[in-house]
Structures are given as structure tokens and as C-alpha cells.
Amino acid sequence: MEYLFLLVLVLSLWTGSQSESVNHKLFKTGSDDFLISLSTDGTYNISVKGKQWLSSAPTYFNSDNKTFSAADGSLKLLESSASSGTDKIGDWQSQTYLYQTVDSLAVKITANIKIYKDLPIIIFQQIFNDGANWTQGENYEDICGGFPGFKMEGQSGNLGYMSFGGLMVGDTNKHFGQWYNGTSQINEGIAGGPLAWFDIDGHTIVFSPFNNFMSASFSHDKDVGGYYYGGVMGGVYSIPAGHHQDFILYYGVGVNKAFEHWGKTLRKFYGKTLTEQKKDFTITHLGYWTDNGAYYYYNTETGETYEQTMYDVKNYADKVKIPFRYIQYDSWWYYQGVGRGVKTWRSRPDVFPDGFKNVTQTLKLPAAAHNRYWASDTTYAKQNGGKYDFIVEKYKALPVTKQFWVDLFTEAKQWGLILYEQDWLNVEFSGLQALLHDLDLGTQWLTQMAEAASESGIYIQYCMANPRHTMQSLLYPAVTQIRVSNDYNPGGDQWKIGISSILASALGLAPYKDTFWTTEKQPGNIYNRTEPNWKLNAVVSTLSTGPVGPSDMVGATNVSMLMKCCREDGVILKPQYPIRAIDAQIIGEAFPYSGGPGGEVWVSYTQFSSLKFANILALNIGQGYSYTLHPKDTGIYSFKEGNGDLYAVPYDEPYGWVQFSNLYGIDITGVFTPSRIALYHVSQAIPGWFMTTIFGELDKWAPMSPQRVVSVSWTNDTVTAPLIGAPKETFNFWYLLGSKLDAVTCQLSINGTVMFKMDRDLGIATCQ
């Protein structure tokens, strides 16, 4: 019945008036609310919930040092044809437009639009049938031709956007706003990234490249009312026959949900799973860091070598029982050359007099090690007397064989490397002409690195990644983690990872907040700064699901506070899903009067069978705003779940627990700042029991972490939860039983297990 109606609708929309030669056809995607109208003249409109959101900007391509555009007829549409089929994503219908440049070369280019029948997906493809030469744009920030393209001016309704750009996953230059005209601030070029459009109710379209991530770019033409295009990176001079550049539009309800499902589609397509992330020891265990912002960044204990300083760190940690399980060594340990690039990635004798291997073996801790861009005087390059093929330019260099990386990692494994941190990804890319002008070199660089890492059994952290590097990691199981905000600077605000973590986690990467101090004052630090927000940094780090890596001065750690992150054996107690900004915060950034929190409200959670246990962090709320958070706003609980079976507990005040429902929200107005955080843990009631739930280990930042709680199951008579941890570890475990709050002390067995149990008839809980 419904199907029939739709058919009639589609037929009736085939064309407005029969007399015109131009035909319109409306296509439905897997979502009834996400439609595209295609014309035989190559134009298209996209609508959401019956409103036209986007309409096409003229298709154009560069060839032969010229721009050929459908707008002025210099790009001629030869034919338009329809077809259908099935690929790795699903069943599709498509409309194919064959274009030809109007000049002596008559280069053919195909613009193809694929609409997926069962998924809310549209894919746009540029196919260079014959290839093309002299395709470069005005500069490398431009593109070699635009398809798809969307007009910014003259759209009906209010359309908000979030545009990623810059480094650290596109966090540093992200913008929010409304889709007006050329004045809207939208990222383009080398550092540009995915864009999402959304309305005030959270209906969202995510727009990103779908393949060749390293050579795909966006361009924001600010004239003519503003056009926004996807295309091949503007520095590329020559595109071979058959080259595809694809872009995806993904529609979803809820900004977070849309990104999550967009990411799942890409991850499925490229085979990126979370398996390696779960095995990466530097993600699962507490480590000590020495990078920018750390106390010992280009700084040692007075009069000591770095080697001795690292021993001091370890001796102190052992004494006060901080279970550091690895150490991160930043750029201070290797040889630097031209422009402070890396000359030789080996430890210097003035830093480690006994050698790197001796240091890791003495410490009995594996290493995470930093690396940056290659200097033009790198000793590995044949040009400088080394063994390997490199592209060498004035300041920087690039290895071009996989063997180089295999040898580099094989050597590093011998001195204890488990994590390779590739920093300065953006600078290596934009600092080499070769990378900016080649279609495939960027991919080759990262592929050789990642394949060698996989073969060597080490993992990679990306740092200073533009969105292009971030998306490219979809192809690499070895890349498990990524920095999502700028460098730590004590007292600064780089803890704001709520937005960029949405993008990183959608792509299967563990978001890393970077290091932090656990106490305010650390005398003699090289930054002359203090850290009043030590607690906030610790919370965000732990709930990020990425590495947790403090960097205190010897003797300055707040051990009890730090250990809220972890078990006694240094295993990090994480939530299952990373902490991210809620939709209302994002929508509020674009629509200031939409009733958003006007500050940061982030949520993470863990699910055991049907029960979801959330962590809610709120700060900087205020400045005239009043905000009450309800379960339905978290993006975690359904409307029904929010109607009476949730309990929220302030992290530092168990007896302050309250019912949390769509009727009774939590008022998070005004009072919280980074030095006074609001952190609530939410537990879902045990079905069929009267006011009963588990709050868990409230002494930790993630009280119901899967690294502590194996499962939660229940019958009418008992609730059971097997718990794990370090042998003989002891902790308090909180619960609500028949409306009564209490805690039981759990001591794990010698094999690190114990069973938490609640008995309905007896009205008691035990842990044994």
C-alpha cells in the first residue's frame, strides 16, 4: 500500500511540464526523508523531510590549463543515462552524466550519482575516462574540478553546519554556522575536512570524500553567492585515465548518530575494525609522557641526563605505587637536522649514555616514541650517503620504499618500541612539493609506514593529522589512535575534545587528549604555568577511551586522584564508547537561540546486555543560559528509557543520587567551571526490580567499565556481575537495592576475579 503510493509519487514527479526538454526524476534513498531530484541536464537538488536543503552548483573540470564549466557551456553534456546494480555497500540506482571539454583535446569526464536503495547514502563520482593533463587549480588549496557542488545562497529554511579543518583531526579550525552565502566560514583546501549540515531538530547530512582521501579536497568559491565543491586536490597536474574521486553524502537523525553511521559505512567498506585498538597496550594501560606540555619536555632533573631522569620517574612511581606500564619519549632523544626535522632516528649518547635498549630494559617498560618530518639532510637518504630512496627537497624529505620503514621499525623493536607516534603529519604533507602535486604519493607514504608497522607488530598514533590523514587511516589496522586537540599547555583548554572525538571515533580511532599534570603547581617547569584544571584533564583523558599519559614532575603526582583512571595493575578503566559532545551543544553552536547548553555537555557510556551506564560531564555552562539535561538529550537513552528507570549519581557524592527522567532532568546551569566539574554517572534500573541498579566503583571516573565489570545479568531473584582486576585488588562497589543506596567491599581473588551479587529475597548484596 505504502509502496504503491510511493511509486505513484515518483512517477508524478518525473517532470513538471511535458513540453520542456529537461526531465526531472526524484530518487528515494534508504530513508524516506532523504531524497535527490536529478535532471537530465546534470543539475540536482537534495531535500530532507520535504525541504530543499541543497541545490547543485555547476559541474566543472580543469584540463589543458583551462577550466571547463557546465555554466558557460565549455563543458558539454554528451549524454545522461540511468542504470542500477549492487556493490559492497548495497543496491544502487544511478544517473550517469558524460561530459566533454569543448576544446581541441575534447577530454571526456563522467559525473556519476549513485543512490542506495536501502541506505541513506548518495555517492558522487568523478571519473576521468581518458585522464587529463594540466589539471591544476589556481593553487594547491584549490581543486582540479568540482563535482559534487552545492550552492550556498537561496536555500529555504535554516541550515546549520559544522565544518572540520586544520590539524588534530580537523579540530583546530573547526567552524559552526549557518549556510548563508560566501561569508559562511567553511574549511577548504589541504587542511579542510568533512562537513555536516543539520537543522535545529538534528536531521543531518555528512559530506566527505569516499576514496583517495590523501588527494581529495574541498573548495569554497566565495563569489557568486558561494559554491562548495568536492574535487581532486588542486596541486595535481595530471590525472590518469580511469581515476575515480568519490564523495559521500550520509543522512541520519541526530548529528552524533549521523557521524556514527557514516563512520560505520566507511569502516565496513575499508575493513577497519576496533580489534587492533583493543589490543594496543598503550591504549589499554597507563603510561608516562614527556611530550610538549610535560614537565620533562626538553627538560631533565637538575644536572642529570635524560636517562637518569627517566630512572627517577620510575623509582618515584614504584615508591608511591603508580603503575606506569610504558613511557613515551618525545622528540628530544633523536638527531635533528635541517629545520629541526629528523636527521637520524636513533638515540643520542648525551641523552641516553647507555643506549635506548639499555634504558627500556633497566626500566622494564616498553617505549612509545615520537617522530617528526624527515629533514633534507637525513642520513637515511641515498642523496646523503644513506641506503634508501628518498625524495629530497630543500628542507624536507620523504622515504619512498616500504623497506625503509621495515628496517626502521625492526631496529626500534629491538630497543623496545611498541607505539610509533608519527607527529607533524600536516607539516610533512604541506612542506613537500612532491606530496602537494602528486595524486598517489601521500597514500604511498602512509601505506608503506602502516604496512611496515603491521608486519613489525607495532601500533601507530597519528598526531597533527589533517582530516585527510585521519580518513586515510581507514585503510590501516596499525593506526589505532590519534590526537584530537592541540598540544597540552598547563592551564589551557586543549581538554576540549568533545567535538573532534566524534570524528575520530566514527573512523575507528581512539581519541587522545594528550598529556596532563595531576597537580596545580609544579615548581621549575619550563612553561612558567600552573594547572588549576588537573581534575578535569584526568577525567577527560580517562573517558576519552584513548591513552592516559600524565607527565608530572617527580614527587608531584596526586596519586589517589590519578588512580581514579585505573586498576592497580595500570589497566585503564574506560567507558565502552568515548565521551563526546551532545547534539544540543553542536546545534547550539550553529543556532545560538536553539536552547542548547551554551557550554560543554559530553556523554560516554558502557552497555551490558540491554542496560546502558552513562557518564555525563558538564562545564562552562552559564552566561545567561539555563540548562536542564534530560535523558532524551543524551543521545544514549530512548525516550521510553528516560521515563522512570534511570538514576544519576554525582561522582563525588553517592548519597546525592536522584531519579533522572524526561520529567526530572539534572539542572547543570551556571555553577560549573573547569576547576569545578560536574560529573554524573547514570545507571539504568534492573528490569522487573523495584528501584534497583548498580552504580559500580564510584571511586573511579568510569565506575562501570568493562575492564572491571565483565557482565551484568539478572533473574527475578538475583542480579550478578562478575568483576575482574589485579590479584587481591580491593575496592568499594555501590548499588541501589529496593531504593536503598549502599556499597559492598570487594576483594578480588588471587586470579583477579570476584562475583558481585544482589539477592531480592534477602535484600542484600555480596561480593565474594
Ligand X SMILES: *[C@@H]1O[C@H](CO)[C@@H](O)[C@H](O)[C@H]1NC(C)=O
- Contact at 8 Å (CB) between 545 and 578? yes
Rounded distance between C-alpha atoms, residue 623 and residue 424, angstroms:
37
Distances (CA, A) of 101 to 52, 72, 107, 130, 245: 31, 12, 5, 12, 18
Q: Is the peptide bond before 148 cis (omega within 30 degrees of 0)?
A: yes
Q: How far is the CB of 263 from ligand X (least distance, A)?
A: 30
Nearer to ligand X, 469 or 564 (CB): 564
Nearer to ligand X, 718 or 753 (CB): 753
DSSP conformational letter for 709? B
Q: Go through 589-623 and write b for each residue having 16 or more CB atoms within 10 A of its CB, e for each that does not.
A: bbbeeeebbbbbbbbbbbbbeebbbbbbbbbbbbe
Rounded distance between C-alpha atoms, residue 171 and residue 581, angstroms:
13
Strands of the sheet containing 51-55, edge to edge, are 24-28, 34-39, 44-48, 51-55
Nearer to ligand X, 78 or 663 (CB): 78
Residue by residue, DSSP assigns 54-73 as EEBPPPEEEETTEEEETTTT
Q: How far is the CB of 395 from ligand X (least distance, A)?
A: 24
Q: How far is the CB of 354 from ligand X (least distance, A)?
A: 4
Nearer to ligand X, 24 or 348 (CB): 24
Nearer to ligand X, 87 or 354 (CB): 354
Nearer to ligand X, 526 or 663 (CB): 526
Count of C-beta atoms within a 10 Å radius of residue 663: 11
Strands of the sheet containing 611-619, edge to edge, are 577-581, 600-608, 611-619, 678-684, 646-650, 658-659
Q: Go through 722-732 and write b for each residue having 16 or more CB atoms within 10 A of its CB, e for each that does not.
A: ebbbeeebebe
SS3 for 339-402, per residue? HHCEEEEEECCCCCCCCHHHHHHHHCCCEEEEECCEECCCCCEHHHCCCECEEECCCEEEECCH
Residue 433, helix vs strand vs coil = helix
Nearer to ligand X, 340 or 521 (CB): 521
Q: How far is the CB of 486 from ligand X (least distance, A)?
A: 21
Q: Which helix (H) or strand (E) holds 766?
A: strand 764-767
Nearer to ligand X, 38 or 123 (CB): 38
Cell numbers representing residue 314 in the block: 620510575
- Contact at 8 Å (CB) between 341 and 375? yes
Rounded distance between C-alpha atoms, residue 340 and residue 453, angstroms:
24
Residue 712, helix vs strand vs coil = coil
**Chain contacts with ligand X (rule: CB under 6 A):** 24, 37-39, 43-45, 52, 55, 64-65, 105, 107, 130-134, 180-183, 354, 358, 361-362, 519, 528, 558, 560-561, 688, 716, 749, 751, 753
Nearer to ligand X, 309 or 473 (CB): 309
Q: How far is the CB of 402 from ligand X (least distance, A)?
A: 27
* E-only strand ranges, 349-478: 367-371, 374-375, 390-392, 396-399, 417-422, 459-462
Q: How far is the CB of 612 from ligand X (least distance, A)?
A: 22
Nearer to ligand X, 344 or 558 (CB): 558
Rounded distance between C-alpha atoms, residue 524 and residue 296, angstroms:
11
